[in-house]
Structure 1
Amino acid sequence: MLWSVCVRPVSVSLETTAGSVSVYDSQGQGPCVVLLHGNSLSASLFSEQLTGSFGDSLRVVAFDLPGHGRSQNARRPETDYSLPGYARILEEVADGLDLDPFVLVGVSLGGHIALEYSATADTRLKAVAAFGTPPVSREPEDLDRAFKRSEEIGYLFQEHLTDAEARQFLHAVTGASSGALFETLLSDVERSDGRARRNLASSLQRGEFVDEAALTHTSRVPLLMAVGERDAFVSQDYVAALRPSKLFGGRFRIVEGAHHSVVFDSRERFEGLLREFLGRIL
């Protein structure tokens, strides 16, 4: 953890049905924003938001998904490592911290979890922002259209990764090859429970997720969706063809120069978009 020498954030271990989950809280004075990390990473992705000015002006909460970071591996990997399973853990974290109201912000897999949760969420949830998260229907061809074909996309669902594959995967996610945060996240990839990748793939193939494309027309909460201009995973053609009626600004935002993990290489634009969004809807 990059913030181990800092007073903030406060770190707690919360017991859930999937096992013990590590949660981090900036204890800022503003509205509550829950940040959800991506596949094989951890809440370390949001170290700047938890320790910087963003976390001063907002109460920023992030947690390591089961099988990731400092959280325990899932007790029931067949069901916990799925979008409905992760959404259930999110609900338990919100209950355990008595979060009311809050906004969800997800990156990549985290965005899909946020959309999954939003479909059945109660009035505590006020809005969802998703970065690097193309909204897909349950039609199998939608998954093929939404994501680019590449060697790295396969690593998202591959149980065992070699050291070289882990580094190649993280480079595709972040656009980086070195640096303190890169090395921390590389350790996260190596630590992650490979069953989380494998079982997520099986769950998606069975269609165990909400119709995300429909949510862009029916969501009861405001939605912000953005993708990096240089995203190695998300198809720009797919995103451009969407005609969402519920998205903030009426369209997907394209973050100039950013890679898949917008928060990693375009922190100021990530935070700026969120501040603009929150200023309009809260």
Structure 2
Amino acid sequence: MSPSYRMIATRHGAVSVADSGGDGFALLMLHGSANCKEVFLPQLESPLAERYRIIAVDLLGHGHSANAEYPGKAYTLAGFAESIGDVVAALGVRRMAVFAWSLGGHVAIEMLARMPIIAGLMLTGTPPIASGPLGMLRGFQAHWDLLLASKEHFTERDIMRFHELCFGDNGGSDMIEAIARSDGRVRAIAVSGMMRGDGADQKRTIEEATVPIAMVNGEHEPIARLGYIAGLDYQTLWDDHCHVIAGAGHAPFRDRPEVFNALLNRFVSDVEAYKQPVPMVLPRSA
């Protein structure tokens, strides 16, 4: 089944959406910085799209979505969360699972802190960091190429380095074009906001989540610290452990799609069936 494509107006600008349609449980997919929704073609063009309603979006400043008129508001985690919230509301989605990658994962955690619509969240290449610069240092690996994540203007060499960081040998010309097209102001604004600690405390949000949280990363993840991710104090960690896909890098959903899609299929099925615990209310004393 081929997805349909449309533009949806949001408070921060027009967002391009791919929607597989159907009556299946909704699965929202959010891409990483300087990428686009087509990065998820191994999922959109798989049997997953026949079982679930997969919705993949281009974040503002990426792909076929508009560049923001007011980037200082739109390109923060809160701004992205607001625009994606407008999209799912326009599509009539009331309950959904989310799979989010890299920057998209940080946006999804911000959404989780704001929106009860999220019934389960799978993260890849996204360390849920505590607010502020120390949180970032603990969650991310330290090497020079990570400076690209906050660089506003890319040279041709920067584009190829960023492509290799994201995909290794599993990207391609479409992903190179997506990186070149992306609005570099996203990188500068989003990363500086995370450094300041804007938005929700992501570590606390994930550790206190009451919906299933899945962590699925590549064995050779070059950006997030896998040890940090494994050491968080999860309350609802799916499968009771963090999954690591052998031989994969930052984008295991492209590196090893057959392995990844099997995990994603099982996760969304579990989320659909999951009954969130009802908080116990103690009787008032006389």
Q: TM-score, normalization: structure 1? A: 0.92
CA distance change for structure 1 residues 224 and 276 in 2, over 3 Å: closer, same or farther?
same
1:22 is paired with a residue whose SS is: strand
Equivalent residues in 2 for 1:131-146, closer than 5 Å = 131-146=124-139
Distance in 2 of aligned mates of 1:240 and 1:53: 30
- Which residue is equivalent to 1:41? 35
Aligned length: 272
Distance in structure 1 (CA, Å) of the matches to 2:175 and 2:234:
33
Aligned equivalent of 1:155, options 148, 154, 165: 148
Of the three residues 47, 52, 55, the one matched with 1:58 is 52
- Name the CA distance, whole Å, in 2 between partners of 1:54 and 1:240: 27
Residue 225 (structure 1) aligned with residue 215 (structure 2): yes
Query: 1:66–1:74: 8 Å Cα contact kept in structure 2?
Result: yes
2:74 corresponding residue in structure 1: 80
The answer as to 2:235 corresponding to 1:249 is no
TM-score in terms of structure 2 length: 0.91
Q: What secondary structure is seen at the aligned counterpart in 2 of 1:39?
A: coil
What is the aligned-residue identity percentage? 30
**What RMSD, in angstroms, separates the aligned Cα atoms of the two structures?**
1.5
Contact 2:109 2:206 (8 Å CA) reproduced: no
Match of 2:15 among 15, 21, 31: 21
Superposition map of 1:70-109 within 5 A? 70-109=64-103
1:165 CA displacement: 1.1
Amino acid at match of 2:268: L
Q: 2:6 aligns with which of 7, 12, 28?
A: 12
Deviation at 1:149, TM superposition (A): 1.3
1:112 aligns with 2:102: no
Question: For structure 1, which segment, 66-75 or 93-102, has the greater mean C-alpha deviation from structure 2 after superposition?
Answer: 93-102
Shift of 1:139: 4.0
Which of 1 and 2 has greater Rg? 2
Consecutive unaligned residues of structure 2, counting only runs of 5 or more, are 273-286
What is aligned with 1:4?
none
> C-alpha distance in 1, partners of 2:186/2:11?
16
* Cα drift, residue 281 of structure 1: 2.7
1:10 and 1:279 map into 2 onto residues whose CA distance is: 23
2:176 aligns with one of 151, 165, 186: 186
2:227 is paired with a residue whose SS is helix
Asked if the contact 2:42–2:253 (Cα under 8 Å) also holds between the matched residues in 1, the reply is no
Q: Deviations over 1:193-240 (max 9, x none)?
A: 010101112211221121121123311321111221101111123223
Runs of 4 or more consecutive aligned structure 1 residues displaced over 3 Å after TM superposition = none
Q: Secondary structure at the residue paired with 1:98?
A: coil
SS of alignment partner, residue 107 of structure 2: helix
SS at match of 1:160: coil
